[in-house]
């Protein structure tokens, strides 16, 4: 790999926090709302940053950038977080170049997910990518890289067992309920929040229920109604939340807000036992609820420990997935080399054309029309063969040159006279 390509790769980096190094509470400080993400992209565009993608999920908040100004990206990122630079220094990470590319592949394939093989992440990355596209923050490097990454992710899903079996945050929630709630069939359930995780949880829960004692509540009542109609279950407005809390033995919170949405006031007068599962980051269940005598609150990190043997089967598939990733990375690096050499290849063909035209111009008066056509065809074929040989040589030789143009000059320099 040439020094120029390495320099270009070093402009690609990620700043972030994830479950691997950061506790749930700290991750919550770095979580970015949709509004925050959009504002960050707008600021980055105004600042002249070449490319930027913001990813914020329950397991991680990451900013991928392609620019020489890492400090500016970090400053913008922290300006929209509740966490400060000291928090980031102790809990965050920065990854650059080829290591960052490998990290991105692992994130999108589910290898780096808290629940290995959780394929919700690729949809979340695609949404982040599309948002950056809307704000014109996808340059050619990010466009091609993410295209390779999404293609490899799809191949991993289709050709390996990495995401087979039921193992996801929503499944972990349902599995926990099955393990802990003895009267599963007769219990009353409340699902608060009908986003992507809420929808998955709703679907998974209903598969294991013999009845339809599940009620949906959402800040947008129309979304709750649409999901309820799909599964023939009940829904209620936000104003009825406290009433539904009182009636339910199991409460699942998947609201995805930047602050608590299930509050102590919703439990006023409640004395019955409650199991509360908070699937949100930052936490959307008020901490005061943890202290209620008959209420057990379970968070995302705790749920991740209660998953089936599917995880072990998935772990065994990681080497196969990594082979697909390595192949895809090699293809991407090949694209980088071709892109880097494109101006040189154009100049090469231009040089060859000039030589050909000069010779044809000299011999043209000596040939009739038929002879000229044959000579033009022969010289065109020769030029193309020479060009292919030179391009092949360029691809190899430029790796040891400070500039591919030096290789081109070497190919076309006048021979020394003795």
Angle at 225 between CA 222 and CA 227, to 5 degrees: 110
Beta bridge mates, 55: 62
Query: What average pLDDT does this structure show over 342-349?
Result: 69
Q: Pull the structure tokens for residue 6.
A: 């390495």
Local structure of residue 211 (DSSP, 8 states): S
End-to-end Cα distance, the chain = 36
Beta strands in 207-339 (DSSP E): 214-217, 234-236, 250-253, 274-278, 295-298
Q: How large a percentage of the chain has pLDDT more than 90?
A: 52
Binding residue numbers:
57-60, 113, 118-120, 124, 193-198
Cβ-based neighbour number of residue 35 at 10 Å: 10
Helices (H), 80-138: 85-91, 97-109, 120-134
Q: What's the pLDDT score for residue 418?
A: 47
Task: Confirm whether 317 is a catalytic residue.
Answer: no
**Interatomic CA distance for residues 143 and 355, integer angstroms:** 37
Nearest to 160 by CA among 117, 112, 107: 117
Q: Pull the structure tokens for residue 162.
A: 């990495």
Q: Pull the structure tokens for residue 221.
A: 């009542």
Beta bridge mates, 13: 65, 96
Of the candidates 58, 81, 108, 317, the residue annotated as catalytic is 58
Say yes or no to pLDDT of 149 above 50: yes
| Element spanning 408, H or E | helix 404-412
Write out pLDDT tens, residues 368-385. Answer: 888 888 888 888 888 888
Q: What are phi and psi of 314, to 5 degrees?
A: -70, -40
pTM summary value:
0.66
Q: What's the pLDDT score for residue 208?
A: 76
């Amino acid at each position: 790999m040439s020094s120029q390509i390495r320099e270009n790769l070093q402009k690609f980096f990620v700043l972030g926090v994830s479950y691997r190094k950061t506790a749930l509470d700290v991750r919550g400080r770095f979580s970015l709302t949709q509004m925050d993400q959009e504002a960050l992209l707008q600021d980055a565009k105004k600042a002249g940053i070449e490319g930027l993608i913001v990813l914020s999920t329950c397991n991680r908040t990451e900013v991928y950038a392609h620019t020489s100004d890492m400090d500016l990206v970090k400053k913008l990122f922290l300006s929209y977080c509740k966490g400060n630079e000291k928090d980031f220094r102790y809990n965050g990470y920065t990854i650059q170049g080829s290591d960052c590319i490998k990290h991105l592949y692992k994130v999108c394939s589910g290898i780096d997910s808290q629940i290995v093989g959780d394929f919700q992440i690729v949809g979340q990355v695609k949404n982040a990518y599309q948002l950056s596209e809307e704000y014109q923050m996808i340059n050619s490097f990010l466009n091609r890289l993410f295209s390779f990454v999404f293609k490899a992710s799809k191949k991993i899903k289709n050709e390996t067992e990495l995401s087979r079996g039921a193992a996801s945050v929503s499944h972990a929630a349902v599995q926990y309920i099955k393990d802990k709630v003895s009267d599963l069939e007769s219990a009353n359930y409340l699902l608060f929040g009908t986003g992507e995780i809420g929808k998955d949880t709703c679907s998974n829960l209903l598969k294991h229920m013999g009845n339809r004692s599940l009620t949906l509540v959402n800040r947008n009542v129309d979304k709750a109604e649409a999901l309820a109609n799909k599964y023939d279950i009940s829904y209620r407005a936000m104003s009825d939340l406290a009433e539904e809390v009182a009636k339910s033995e199991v409460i699942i919170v998947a609201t995805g807000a930047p602050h608590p949405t299930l509050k102590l006031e919703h439990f006023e007068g409640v004395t019955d036992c409650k199991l509360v599962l908070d699937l949100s980051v930052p936490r959307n269940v008020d901490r005061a609820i943890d202290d209620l005598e008959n209420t057990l609150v379970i968070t995302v990190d705790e749920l991740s420990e209660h998953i089936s043997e599917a995880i072990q089967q998935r772990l065994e598939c990681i080497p196969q997935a990594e082979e697909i990733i390595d192949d895809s990375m090699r293809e991407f690096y090949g694209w980088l080399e071709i892109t880097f050499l494109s101006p040189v290849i154009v100049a090469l063909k231009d040089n060859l054309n000039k030589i050909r035209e000069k010779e044809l111009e000299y011999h043209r008066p000596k040939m009739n029309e038929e002879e000229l056509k044959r000579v033009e065809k022969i010289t065109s074929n020769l030029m193309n063969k020479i060009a292919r040989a030179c391009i092949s040589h360029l691809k190899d030789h430029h790796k040891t040159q400070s500039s591919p143009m030096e290789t081109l000059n070497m190919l076309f320099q006048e021979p020394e006279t003795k």
